[in-house]
Amino acid sequence: NLRTMTADKAVSFEDSVDTTDDSSSSLFDPASLLPSPTTGKSTPQPNRSATKAALDALLSDTLRPSPCNVFGSGPLLVSDIPQSARPDDSNDTKNDTSATKSSSGGVIMGIDEAGRGPALGPMTYGAAYWHPTKSQQPIPPDFNDSKQLSAEKRQVLFRQIQSHDDIGFVLRVIHASEISRNMMRKTPYNLNAISHDCAMEMIWAVLHAGVTIDTCYVDTVGMPDAYRQKLERVFEGYNINFVVEKKADAKYAPCSAASVVAKESRDAIVQNWKWSEMPNFIPQSGHEFGSGYPSDPKCVQWMKSNCNVDRPFGFPDFVRFSWGPTKKLLGEGPDAAAAAG
């Protein structure tokens, strides 16, 4: 049971939702953002209104599961399943795992991440999918080469994804605390392994929802061939054509759409971040940390200003403790360099 720690008590993830805004909290079940305790499967949202409400809550940080600051995984949002992506009743193959299962009529899917390198904030994984011939609405043409898009254009595309009846999507948020905890275990669970597992988690979520995947485009993490072979082994029998390439988000529309989901979601989470250390806690300089990359002078200054080696954890949980610059500051103290000079 994922739990969140406040200053004076532990509360369940479900109870941590701010229900003062009935327009959002009444539309979706917060428990749907966690795997079922009985089946281990994630639950898709029942409709697009619930999908938007759940996404708004995640991105506004209304229900950030600070429990992952202690243990457990961050949230996994599975949108409602588009009608055009559902298999025909006469040819329902969702429970057929034989190698002879036909993938004709399946969706095309893309997977990409955002925020792999920063020392601050979460890494997000996005997936997007649609049926190439059954879609009732035209798929926006601007998904290709999403990295070249302006921030304003990405925001427009993100809104189009959310409102498009024929586009399904998945969002997995890996908070800094989850990354730190896994990478600093006695036997490290490295970032590549975390990334691979998050991608597979999203694929399983779509398959468990009854969607047949024809082709899945993945922006590679590590060597493309080795990653593709790993995916083929894990999903053997589902007859999925995996295309794993560098810069896949600039080549394949579903991967570009996934990139938009991941990047826009991360940007919103970072912008709306609420500090969980104690009530009304605001770190020095607040959200003025620039890009969050260790090479960014604003990020460096923010980390120096907020490194307090006299506190139990040294930094707010927004910081990735497994990153080199974080370890250096905690080991030497923020004034070590100045004193040495």
Residues belonging to the binding site for a divalent metal cation are 112-113, 219
CA distance 65 to 277: 13
Binding-site residue ranges: 112-113, 219
Q: Is there a contact between 210 and 94 (Cβ–Cβ < 8 Å)? A: yes
Q: Is there a contact between 185 and 321 (Cβ–Cβ < 8 Å)? A: no
Q: Is there a contact between 109 and 217 (Cβ–Cβ < 8 Å)? A: yes
Task: Name 129's Cβ contacts closer than 8 Å, sequence gap at least 6.
Answer: 85, 107, 108, 109, 110, 167, 168, 169, 206, 211, 213, 254
CA distance 326 to 333: 10
Provide the edge-to-edge strand list for the sheet that holds 213-219: 76-78, 168-174, 123-130, 107-114, 213-219, 241-245
To which residue do tokens 């959002």 refer? 24
